[in-house]
Amino acid sequence: MSEVRKQVREHYREVAIDVRDGGDGCCDSGCCGSKDRVWGAELYEAVERAELPDAAVLASLGCGNPIAVAELREGETVLDLGSGGGIDVLLSARRVGSTGHAYGLDMTDEMLDLARRNAADAGAENVEFLKGYIEDVPLPDASVDVIISNCVINLSADKRAVFEEMRRVLRPGGRIGISDVVASDDLSPAARAERGSLVGCIAGALSFDEYRSGLEGAGFGEIEIEPTHDVADGMHAAIVRARRPPTG
């Protein structure tokens, strides 16, 4: 296991244990650590938070609300990369309805246990949580309609593999609607690292140009990367949309 993966796994393992034991899921270096509340559950509407178990809300450490931009439709199959405590999976399951299905993928046993407990508490029957890596998704080719993710791709040490896996598991014409941290194009990797840690969702972020090039290289089209708010100097939470071409 790479050192980056070990660092990320240990950090989110600690978050899951904290929530399980009655804590608020926050920590000094994590995505929820910002004092101005640009991370986590605050980015969801109150009505959305009210629909879910408290533990799912507390374990939300993302930089956006991908459900708000994914335009989910009834009957679709959705995959959440890095699903954590399951907030986006549970919200997706409600939107795709009983004829749809929502998968959550996470590498951390403690997060998976927490997510499955949250799904049971919410009475969600059209959800499934899988153990695995976002660079190697344990699903067949062309098996999902939509991929969502909330501030997770920046944590990967092999983003090219992530983009290629997203394209592989999407059906032709399928789409992504994700939230992630993206760096200004003038910031070097060293400058990004100066602004925050890897597990704090800053140091590993791609620039806008790098993100677009990575998606194009994996075969995506209709790419849109829209910043929503700043999370550090030159670092932006952003909505990323793209589509697998319907043919080819």
pLDDT tens digit sequence for 46-81: 445 445 545 444 444 556 677 777 889 999 999 999
Q: What are the percentages of helix, strand and coil residues in the chain, rounded to 5?
A: 35, 25, 40
Per-residue DSSP letter, 130: E
What's the fold here for domain 3-243? Rossmann fold (3.40.50)
3-class DSSP string for 141-171: CCCEEEEEEECCHHHCCCHHHHHHHHHHHEE
Q: What is the pLDDT of residue 89?
A: 93
CB 101 within 8 A of CB 77: yes
Q: Is the pLDDT of residue 236 over 60?
A: yes
pLDDT digits (tens, 9 = 90+) for 155-177: 999 999 999 999 999 999 999 99
Least confident window among 36-40, 92-96, 122-126, 200-204: 36-40
Residue 187 pLDDT class (50, 70, 90 cuts) = very high
Domain boundaries, the chain: 3-243
Angle between helix 208-217 and 159-169 (nearest 10): 50
User: Tokens representing 49?
Assistant: 């938070």
d(CA 20, CA 113): 9
Residue 202 contacts residue 189 (beta carbons within 8 Å) = no
Q: Tokens in use for 242?
A: 């793209």
> Given pLDDT bands bounded at 50, 70 and 90, which one contains residue 132?
very high
Q: What pLDDT sits at residue 35? A: 43
- Compute the distance between CA of residue 175 and CA of residue 7 in angstroms, rounded to an integer: 30
- Summarised one tens digit per residue, pLDDT across range 91-115 is 899 999 999 999 999 999 998 999 9
Could you say which DSSP state residue 56 is in? H
Around Cβ 229, how many Cβ atoms within 10 Å?
A: 12
Give the DSSP letter of residue 45.
-
For residue 32, the model assigns a pLDDT of 42
The mean pLDDT value for 140-161 works out to 95
Q: What is the pLDDT of residue 174?
A: 97
Residue 27 in tokens: 């920590």
Q: How confident is the model at residue 133 (pLDDT cuts 50, 70, 90)?
A: very high
